[in-house]
């Protein structure tokens, strides 16, 4: 959709630090992360909010976020957990009206860092951070291959 910043990222007309993509989904780092590795997962086709989103696509979106949360635990900045969150609609503080699932990695005892990040929203070293999460995805895929071997 023209005028939608996330559609422009999908089409390559706007830059983003990408983590993974397939035919359906794209995951990229949030430009104003709450914690290092804060990622957004979006459907490539525009849907403005949950009311506008095909439920099967919603399930795929969650599956993408689930996989990322697992990858973050296996990354070079290993997370102990993650917050997965959708702000659905203006009333819920949605500011970009293209559905997106936030995946926010968390560390045990990070309450202060999290609160500070929530206020400051400063980017970390984006390329390094993205590479670490991609490594986590590779490790997850290797584990899955071992399990099914």
Binding site for ligand 5GP (CB under 6 A): 5, 16, 28-32, 40, 87, 93-96
Contacts of 133 (CB under 8 A, 6+ apart): 19, 37, 39, 68, 71, 72, 75
User: What are the catalytic residues?
Assistant: 100
Q: Is 4 in the site for Zn ion (CB under 5 A)?
A: yes
Say if residues 38 and 1 touch (Cβ distance below 8 Å): no
CA dihedral (14, 11, 137, 56) in degrees, to 10, reads 130
Nearer to ligand 5GP (CB atom), residue 60 or residue 94: 94
Nearer to ligand 5GP (CB atom), residue 29 or residue 79: 29
Q: What mask of x and - would describe binding to Zn ion in positions 88 to 117, judged by CB under 5 A? A: ----------x-------------------
Q: What mask of x and - would describe binding to Zn ion in positions 18 to 57, judged by CB under 5 A? A: ----------------------------x-----------
Helix axes 126-148, 55-73, angle to 10 degrees: 100
Nearer to ligand 5GP (CB atom), residue 5 or residue 141: 5
For residue 105, what are the β-bridge partners? Answer: 82
CB burial readout 35-59, b (16+ within 10 A) else e: bbbbbbbbbbebbebeeebeeebbe
Nearer to ligand 5GP (CB atom), residue 16 or residue 41: 16
Say if residues 44 and 26 touch (Cβ distance below 8 Å): yes
Q: CA–CA separation, 70 vs 124, rounded Å? A: 21
Binder of residue 4, out of ligand 5GP, Zn ion, none (CB less than 5 to 8 A by kind): Zn ion
Closest separation between CB of residue 40 and ligand 5GP, Å? 6
Instruction: Return residues touching Zn ion (CB under 5 A).
Output: 1, 4, 6-7, 46, 98
């Amino acid at each position: 959709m023209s005028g939608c910043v996330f559609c422009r990222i999908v089409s390559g007309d706007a830059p983003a630090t990408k983590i993974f993509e397939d035919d359906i989904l794209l995951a990229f780092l949030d430009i104003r992360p709450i914690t290092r590795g804060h990622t957004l997962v979006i459907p490539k086709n525009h849907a403005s909010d949950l009311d506008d989103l095909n439920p099967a696509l919603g399930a795929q979106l969650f599956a993408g976020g689930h996989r990322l949360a697992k990858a973050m635990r296996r990354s070079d900045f290993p997370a102990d957990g993650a917050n997965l969150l959708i702000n659905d609609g203006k009333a819920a503080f949605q500011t970009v009206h293209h559905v997106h699932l936030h995946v926010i990695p968390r560390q045990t005892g990070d309450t202060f860092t999290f609160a500070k990040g929530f206020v400051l929203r400063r980017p970390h070293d984006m390329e390094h951070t993205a590479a670490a999460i991609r490594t986590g995805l590779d490790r997850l895929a290797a584990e899955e291959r071992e399990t099914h071997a």
